[in-house]
Amino acid sequence: MSTDEPTPPPEPSPPEPTPAEPTRAELTPAEPARADAVEHAPADAVEPAGAAHPVTPTPMPKAKLPNLALRRLRAGFKPSRGQAIVAVVLALVACMAVVQVRVNRADDGYQNARREDLIAILDGLGQNTRRLESEIAELQARKNSLASSADKAQTAREQAEQQVRVLGILAGTMPAQGPGVRITLNDPDGKMQSSNLLDAIEELRDAGAEAIQINGSVRVVASTDLTDDAPGVKVDGEKVNSPYVIEAIGESHNLAEAANFPGGLVSEVTGPQIGGTAEVTELPLVQITALHAADEHRYARPAPSPTK
């Protein structure tokens, strides 16, 4: 008996992958967790090859919209120049309103006050006014007194300075200048003596000389001492020789007349006793620079002013 062996059924061909099924290389970056889960899943949990995998769309980043409300809020808190001006005007108006309210309240208080109260207020104001006027008058009188004292002090100071200058010129401790004469005496034979110079000094003083110097180095004062030291003369211990140049400050014409007076200085020097020459020159400006070193008085002291 022939047995017919059953023919095996044809092996099914593997299903072709559908176009919608993505491969591993085509997995998007948004599905890394899914890919890892498939790789680490057990073998029996793998889905059949014919199952279709759903495609997950890639999320798109959301565009950031400008926050218009925040910008408007910031712009609202940033005042402009016009807003600042408006704020200042409003503040001034508010201050004026407050002042006006206070004035109105004060006026209302005076309007509602009694007559006796108003009289008392007026009396108080009058007393304050008189007190202030009295203080003003007192301060004005004090000011005038201080000004007068200052003027007197200034006047006294100026007078004292003037007196110091005058006394300084007389004492020979200050230089002097002014109109005067220059007298040049030549003594070729050395016959001039201290008495001849003393006569010349006395004649010039009698004519009004205010300051005298000899040879530009010796200042003649009230205490000047002259001694013979031939040839020449010692004046306050300093030797002076011919030609003797005497300079004097005063009224130049009077001084010249005194020197040229018959029997005076010029006649004495040019006479036969000395046999010298004399020249008198009137000058608009004579400068006396020699100074006298004043000695301290050993006995004399200033006396108190006499009382009137």
Question: What's the confidence (pLDDT) of residue 49?
Answer: 45
For residue 70, which amino acid is it?
L
DSSP conformational letter for 26: G
Question: What's the confidence (pLDDT) of residue 284?
Answer: 96
Give dist(CA 194, CA 57) in Å, integer: 143
- Rg from Cα positions in the chain: 64
Structure tokens at 105: 């309240």
DSSP conformational letter for 222: T
Is residue 288 within 8 Å of residue 247, measured between CB atoms? Answer: yes
Give dist(CA 200, CA 182) in Å, integer: 12
Sheet with 226-228, edge to edge strand ranges:
226-228, 233-235, 238-240
Question: What's the confidence (pLDDT) of residue 290?
Answer: 94
In tens digits, the chain (308 residues) has pLDDT values of 444 444 544 554 544 544 444 444 444 444 444 444 444 444 444 444 444 455 555 655 554 445 666 666 666 666 667 777 777 788 888 877 776 766 566 555 556 667 777 777 777 888 888 888 888 888 888 888 888 888 888 888 888 888 888 888 988 999 999 999 999 999 988 889 999 999 999 999 999 999 999 999 999 998 898 999 888 899 988 999 999 999 999 999 999 999 998 888 899 999 988 899 999 999 999 999 999 887 777 888 878 876 65
Is residue 187 within 8 Å of residue 244, measured between CB atoms? Answer: yes
CB atoms within 10 A of CB 270: 15
CB atoms within 10 A of CB 11: 6
Torsion sign, CA atoms 177, 179, 185, 186: positive
Establish whether the linkage from the previous residue to 231 is cis, with ω within 30° of 0.
yes
User: Domain coordinates of the chain in residue numbers?
Assistant: 86-147, 175-288
Structure tokens at 63: 């565009």
Question: What's the confidence (pLDDT) of residue 118?
Answer: 74
Torsion sign, CA atoms 78, 84, 90, 95: positive
CB atoms within 10 A of CB 258: 24
Question: What's the confidence (pLDDT) of residue 35?
Answer: 43
Is residue 257 within 8 Å of residue 207, measured between CB atoms? Answer: yes
Question: What's the confidence (pLDDT) of residue 279?
Answer: 94
CATH code of the domain made up of 175-288: 3.30.70.1880
